[in-house]
Amino acid sequence: MPVDESPARPPTLNEVAARAGVSLKTASRALNGEPYVSGATERRVRQAADELGYRLNGLARELRTGGTSALVGLISGDLANPFYSAVASGAERELRRHGLLLITVNNDEDSALESSLLSALVERRVRALLVIPSSGGSPIAVGAKAHNVPFVFVDRPPVGLAADSVLIDNAGGARAAAEHLLAGGHRRIALVADLVRTASQQARISAFGAAMRAAGNPDWEPYVRTDVHDAATATRVVGELLALPEPPTALFTTNNQLTIGALRALRGHRHPPALVGFDDFELADVVGVTVVAHDMVELGRAAARLAQERIAGYAGPPRTVVIPTTLIPRGSGER
Amino acid sequence: MPVDESPARPPTLNEVAARAGVSLKTASRALNGEPYVSGATERRVRQAADELGYRLNGLARELRTGGTSALVGLISGDLANPFYSAVASGAERELRRHGLLLITVNNDEDSALESSLLSALVERRVRALLVIPSSGGSPIAVGAKAHNVPFVFVDRPPVGLAADSVLIDNAGGARAAAEHLLAGGHRRIALVADLVRTASQQARISAFGAAMRAAGNPDWEPYVRTDVHDAATATRVVGELLALPEPPTALFTTNNQLTIGALRALRGHRHPPALVGFDDFELADVVGVTVVAHDMVELGRAAARLAQERIAGYAGPPRTVVIPTTLIPRGSGER
DNA sequence: CTGAAAGCGCTAACAC
DNA sequence: GTGTTAGCGCTTTCAG
């Protein structure tokens, strides 16, 4: 039966050893299940530990065993965005399988903050870092090499730097969306995109444009709207597009937030334009939105896997995993 | 200009001191911006640190300064669920203001796993723990007292144990939903609820029942369905309810996942029953779903605040913060 | 202003 | 099987 009231300072291994009447090292061996400890001794030590409410000090152990922790960091945007939280979910699951813990920090889409968070995590001696950078050219990419920590870039590869990355097939997905709308007979197709400075947005935008050019359709060009960064702005921008004298007959939104914003603008419209969105989202099936879907949880899982392999010692050249996309027709893209 | 290729072992403060030609302690003072260091010395040390690519070892510092980290743990269900990720988002933001980092772990709704994760976090000497327990009576509540770490319970208070908690006004919200539907003239009102073993579900269910009794309406009783734990099951259960010879004319779903599942079942129904859902969710406005809304991000923020105050030394009695709810009529609850 | 010594709690070597 | 000694990288005494 536990006796002590929770003390101000947690008990140390030394105290456990003293109580069990053995040496420090023997206590250590017993609690770590190492061989060469007699059963009786082990039992005595365990009991002493229980009585004292002893908990191993992971900090001390990690310092001693090499100065690295069992922690992996994830630097991303706000977890309230389902894209980031899906990645976090997949990463956490995979890491847990290897006894690693995930620290999540929010860069607030600000690269200065991102750098300082990076420092904080490196100081804590995380074993690896998963990063969804606030921008492709962000200082984080530069810092990555300097810190002696494996980096895995998610969704947005660093510019001018080979590194482990997990990417979505942005070009393929955007092309599929473009071709789907073109096949539906559309010509005046609006493109509503997020911050152009991120590599993933760039890839989507340029692949979309390429598909239009390949089809010999220049009519989309007046309807490009970029750097639309949240749902509310998307609602406004789409509203403006629809109010044009010659409004677009179709819409391609390049991420889930923009698609949702667009939906708000389309509500109650008698003849809404066709809509295809990049990223699947909850309720897209109920609302009937055609999307370019991909497995966001798998994105996180794959990133964690690459990180884990680096931790386990893989020292080969950087690898890139590409997550495929699928166009799911649900009505909005087929009208 | 940095010279070294990233070395296998990160440089230590000792090496920085040697390079700068000062003692260990002086280097420490210089880098920590302590007073009583001459400007010239400080500059020399900083330069040496830069050249070596020196990064403070947070593990060692924390061990020396008291064996606690700057980490706060959050044990919850899968972050892919927007409820949990919203809480994580709010908590992370608030903690960051105080220089604390958030470690998120997923209990997979399994209390055995939850206990082991708890141990892992305590061993890492987290400064506080935010917990959304997998169940009210889970062992975590018992363990909480034993560990010498501040606990904050989110959404689900422990049974038989006073502890810092942040709760949603479950009873008030459920009552509002019930009264709203009753005021609409409904009598045969179905209740679709999640796992009864969680305190929050219990509160919602019993307040709903109490409101029905208060209104003298027993007609809801045949339509109670509990322990519906995911959207897919909710879809099936609601489908079954609607197929009854005398189907309910209204539906109350007790969390976001169940509401979404219900929506799938209602799709394409000519005369869908009225629907009120607990928890707001993305696109609820577009789909026109009446909900009992509350600020989930604030839930996390409030929890982090309580934790931070404990860390800062507050030693008073446990406190409970209740987050209010608002019923937002959007159409589905008014038909 | 600067330095030497001690030690946070633990584990790795090497005795016994 | 068990104990002793050292030391992970840092900060905290306490002397200069």
Q: A84: how many CB neighbours lie within 10 A of its CB?
A: 24
List, for residues A9-64, the tens digit of each pLDDT value.
788 999 999 999 999 999 999 998 888 888 889 999 999 999 988 889 999 999 99
pLDDT score of B8:
63
CA of B195 to C1' of D10 (A): 49
Give the CA dihedral B302, B308, B312, B317, nearest 10 degrees: 50
- How many angstroms separate the CA atoms of B335 and B185, rounded? 10
Q: What's the number of domains chain B is made of? A: 3
Q: Is the pLDDT of residue A303 over 50?
A: yes
**Residue B9 approaches strand D within 7 Å at CB:** yes
User: Cα Rg for chain B, rounded, in angstroms?
Assistant: 26
Strand C nucleotides, any atom under 7 Å to a protein CB = 1-5, 7-13
Task: Tell whether B89 and B161 lie within a shared domain.
Answer: yes
Assess whether B243 and B135 both reside in one domain: no
CA distance B79 to chain A (A): 5
Q: Which nucleotide comes closest to B57 if you measure CA to C1'?
A: D9
Are B194 and B288 in a shared domain? yes
CATH number of the domain that residue B31 is part of: 1.10.260.40
Mutate to test the interface with A, among B63, B257, B283 (most CBs of A within 10 A): B283
Residue B330 has a CB neighbour count (10 Å cut-off) of 17
What are the start-end ranges of the H helices in chain A?
Answer: 13-20, 24-31, 39-52, 58-64, 82-96, 111-123, 139-146, 170-183, 199-214, 231-242, 256-266, 284-287, 296-311
Average pLDDT for chain B: 92
**Residues A6, B145: C-beta atoms closer than 8 Å:** yes
Residue A4 scores a pLDDT above 80: no
B-interface mutation test, from A72, A92, A124, most B Cβ less than 10 A away: A124
Put the strands of the sheet holding B71-76 in their side by side order. Answer: A320-323, A164-168, A151-154, A128-131, A71-76, A101-106, B101-106, B71-76, B128-131, B151-154, B164-168, B320-323
User: Closest Cα to residue B277, out of B327, B240, B238?
Assistant: B327
Q: Which CB contacts under 8 angstroms, 24+ apart, belong to B97-101?
A: B98/B308, B98/B311, B99/B70, B100/B70, B100/B71, B100/B72, B100/B127, B100/B308, B100/B311, B101/A103, B101/A105, B101/A120, B101/A121, B101/A124, B101/B70, B101/B71, B101/B72
B332 part of a folded domain: no
Look at residue A281 and tell me whether its pLDDT is greater than 70: yes
Q: Which of A85, A69, A96, A50 is nearest to B110 (CA)?
A: A96
**Per-residue pLDDT at A137:** 59
Residue A328 lies in a domain: no
Minimum mean pLDDT among A160-174, B29-43, B72-86: which range? B29-43
pLDDT at position B141 is 67
- The predicted pLDDT at position A94 comes to 97
Decide: B220 and B212 in contact? Cβ < 8 Å: yes
Residue A187's pLDDT is: 98
| Contact of B240 with B179, CB cutoff 8 Å | no
Task: Inform me whether the pLDDT recorded for A100 exceeds 90.
Answer: yes
pLDDT, mean of residues B231-260 = 97
Residues A185 and A150 occupy one common structural domain = no
What is the DSSP pairing of strand A101-106 with strand B101-106? antiparallel
For the purposes of burial, counting CB atoms within 10 Å of the CB of B141, is it exposed (0-12), middle (13-18) or buried (19 or more)? buried
Per-residue pLDDT band at A1 (split at 50, 70, 90) = very low
* Span B84-101, average pLDDT: 96
| The pLDDT of residue A169 | 98
Phi-psi region of B227 (alpha: psi -120 to 50; beta: other; left: phi over 0): left
Decide if B226 is inside a domain. Answer: yes
Q: What pLDDT is recorded for position A258?
A: 98
Task: State whether A286 and B263 contact (CB < 8 Å).
Answer: yes
pLDDT of residue B203 exceeding 90? yes
Residue A319 domain-assigned?
yes
B276 and B201 housed in the same domain: yes
Helix/strand/coil (H, E, C) string of A18-78?
HHHCCCHHHHHHHHCCCCCCCHHHHHHHHHHHHHHCCCCCHHHHHHHCCCCCCEEEEEECC
Task: Provide the pLDDT for residue A136.
Answer: 60
Are residues A229 and A268 located together in one domain of the fold? yes
Rounded average pLDDT over B244-252:
97
The domain in which residue A255 lies consists of 170-293
Q: What is the pLDDT of residues B45-61, one digit of tens each?
A: 999 999 888 889 999 99
Q: Average pLDDT for residues A149-176, to the nearest whole number?
A: 93
**Residues B260, B213 share a domain:** yes
**pLDDT exceeds cutoff 80 at A144:** no
Q: Between the CA of residue A282 and those of A19, A217, B68, B310, what are the distances in Å?
A: 56, 33, 40, 37
**Residue A87: is its pLDDT beyond 90?**
yes
Q: What is the rounded average pLDDT of the residues B180-206?
A: 96
Q: What is the pLDDT of residue B136?
A: 60
The pTM assigned to this predicted structure is 0.91
Task: Give yes or no: residues A91 and A125 share one domain.
Answer: yes
Assess whether pLDDT exceeds 90 at residue A147: no
Residue A106 backbone dihedrals phi, psi, to 5 degrees: -105, 120
CB B55 within 8 A of CB A147: yes
Would the CB atoms of A102 and B105 count as touching at under 8 Å? yes
B65 shares contact with chain A (CB less than 8 Å): no
- Whether the per-residue pLDDT at A274 is higher than 80: the answer is yes
> What residue of B is the nearest CA neighbor of A54?
B147
Predicted pLDDT at A8:
62
Whether residue A276 lies inside any domain: the answer is yes
Same structural domain, B108 and B222: no
Q: What is the pLDDT of residues A174-228, one digit of tens each?
A: 999 999 999 999 999 999 999 998 889 999 999 999 999 999 999 999 999 999 9
pLDDT at B217 over 80: yes
Question: How many angstroms from the chain centroid is the CA of residue B318?
Answer: 19
Q: Which residues, 6+ apart, have CB-to-CB distance to B140 below 8 Å?
A: B75, B111, B114, B115, B118, B131, B133, B134, B158
Query: Would you give the distance in Å from CA B222 to the centre of its chain?
Result: 33
Phi/psi of residue B178, each to 5°? -60, -45
- Residue B286 vs residues A270, A289, B17: alpha-carbon distances, Å: 15, 12, 62
Average pLDDT, stretch A300-323? 96
Q: What's the pLDDT band for B180 if we cut at 50, 70, 90?
A: very high
CA dist B114 and B131 (Å) reads 10
Find the CATH number of the domain harbouring B264: 3.40.50.2300
Whether B99 is covered by a domain: the verdict is yes
- Return the minimum-mean-pLDDT range out of A81-90, A120-129, B284-293, B326-335: A120-129
Structure-block tokens of residue A255: 């991420």
Query: Quick one: pLDDT at residue B72?
Result: 95
C12 C1' – B67 CA distance, angstroms? 21
| pLDDT over 70 percentage in chain A | 96
Looking at chain B, which residue has its C-alpha nearest residue A296?
B80
Does residue A248 share a domain with residue A181?
yes
Residues A105, A38: one domain? no
Q: How far is B184 from chain A (nearest CA, A)?
A: 25
Q: Using an 8 Å Cβ cutoff, are A29 and A45 in contact? A: no
Indicate if B131 and B236 belong to the same structural domain.
Answer: no
pLDDT at A16: 93
Give a yes or no: residue B64 inside a domain: no
Tell me the average pLDDT across A65-79. 90
Could you tell me if residue A132 is inside a domain? Answer: yes
